[in-house]
Chain A
């Protein structure tokens, strides 16, 4: 097993899929000659040439829509959004077209597109560039959404996404791009819709996705060391499809749940998870479910305040202690 970064893991996944399937095309702003705004696609132009690795103008509605159209005819585009925040100018394509075409054609047309890019706050760039649209997008049937937290998951989910025959939106995180982790050398995928227990525990279940998983794991350490609490951390990995069984199995074991996500609270992913737990494991709960999400406001620019706006280790520890009280 090699130890590689989250960024390298994403690149390796694309590289392997480009080699495996000549229908795979990488497209986006600055992905080719500039090697990617965040260098995720570095070296791919050199290796695969300009037919497979394509720079686009700043026309998200146009090129994302074009990718969706091409996918209808069997191309497998992997489209980079420099930030998922820019998906908002392509919302019609991403939601109305990619999300509905199969349904409205009575199953005649497939849309095997991948749209990927970072979707996170915490980088001091203000409200327009800090959106986390996984909940908004996953609320549309027809769309799949995944949020990898580790290099292993980033590679496995990306490969699964590219092989998947439905639109899959992969939400990465610029703050995780340099994180390193073990990734197998042989071919593997992480199937969409399979959560992962990132830490085993008995007293409290924390459910998280994306970078909130990393924050929760740090909080779990502190809870163990300083408070003698054994915390289980369930990483959703995939928002839709959602692995209900892994969440429920953990709650049945610990009887307490804390849900952590970077979204703003209203209609967040964890609103759905909370409903799931109360509807299918209500009798198992020894305490009300709590949540930690971002403070309900557009993303503030000031870095010191943004760090407090988002879920951080201190807030997760404090909220966990409330669930355990």
Chain B
């Protein structure tokens, strides 16, 4: 089987963020100054969008669950920044960062959180269920691991149609223990599907540390060997490294139609969701240490300042613009209307929304 091209042991990852050793990697070296600034801008936008979400949640305007991506931005940013026309993505419920990265607007994202009809899913899906199929983003899935077979299916469809593409399937370190994930791994490898399973290992599944949830041969990605799949591990705070190593998996998908498991070490700063007081299962010091030494947005800012791509003034402008954009999105969400009662029974069946000669079924389908 194909050995991973670059192999880092998790132990060696415990080094602080510094100038990235992947800056000179071709996928990064080939980025123009404008590309780099755009990438940084996207990361900053994810950060500020979510920080705005916290306030809206605290004001009681978002109910239910709100799973924040703060701390993990470089994962979505690095991987998605490499994707082309026939590359698709799908993820779990921690899905805002991926949404903004594929180009969803802050307005539609914010309005979805507050359940407005102007939301990306018209107020029907909520925080855990963002979708933007026009941007190759297939959700936003609330059931842990449920997206893994779906993403494998997207990859199957890409291959079936003879397209040079892939599907990136994101999941957490807890999700790797769902049966559906293992079945998807096997199918992906058995059928040579162009899928990349991205395990966003933030160390915890709710209040359970990764060590308490998972038996593994050294790291989670290595489970791929049991399915004869290639794998790699990545420092998730370094967007350059994420890009460099994901590019290899992407090439494998595009050129050999083979799957890969990537385990990306990352960290979430807030509780599992806003409902988690986050007081019992980890040390505040641990959060502080990651924030100080490995914050992905700050690390990339430092990197770009060092490269003289970014100036402090420009960075400030970018961050202020992102904050202003998030503020405007919050107002947009506030001022948007709710769906109506009639909307509740729309979008259940294609048939109901497309009455006409193409309808092939009869009879009552929505009941009172």
Q: Residues of A at under 8 Å CB distance from B?
A: 29-30, 33-35, 37, 55, 57-62, 85-86, 88-89, 123-129, 264-266, 295-298, 300-305, 308-309
Contact = CB atoms under 8 A, between A and B. Distances in A.
Contacts of A30: 206-208
B178 A301 contact: no
Contacts of A57: 174, 177, 205, 208, 213-214
Interface residues of B, number: 46
B212 to A, nearest CB: 7
A297 B117 CA distance: 16
B175 interface: yes
B178 A59 contact: yes
A124 B64 CA distance: 5
Given A296-B368, A298-B348, A304 B115 contact: yes
Nearest to A301: B126
B125 interface: yes
Nearest to A34: B207
B280 A33 contact: yes
By DSSP majority rule, is chain A's interface helix, strand, loop, or mixed? loop
Contacts, number: 134
Contacts of B206: 29-30, 34, 37
A37 B280 CA distance: 13
A302 B348 contact: no
A295 B125 contact: no
A128 B128 CA distance: 9
By DSSP majority rule, is chain B's interface helix, strand, loop, or mixed? loop
Contacts of A29: 206, 208
A300 B124 contact: yes
B345 interface: yes
B208 A85 contact: no
A302 B177 contact: no
Given A34-B207, A124-B126, 4 more contacts: A33-B207, A57-B205, A295-B341, A303-B115
Interface in B172-217: 174-175, 177-180, 205-208, 212-214
A34 B344 contact: no
B223 interface: no
A89 B125 contact: no
Interface string B128-143: 1100000000000111
A264 B345 CA distance: 12
A309 B338 CA distance: 14
B145 A58 contact: yes
B341 A123 contact: no
B123 interface: yes
A308 to B, nearest CB: 6
30 contacts: A30-B206, A30-B207, A33-B212, A33-B280, A34-B280, A55-B212, A57-B177, A57-B214, A58-B145, A58-B175, A59-B179, A61-B179, A89-B145, A123-B63, A124-B64, A124-B115, A125-B65, A128-B143, A128-B146, A129-B128, A129-B142, A297-B344, A298-B348, A300-B339, A300-B343, A301-B129, A303-B63, A303-B64, A305-B339, A308-B344
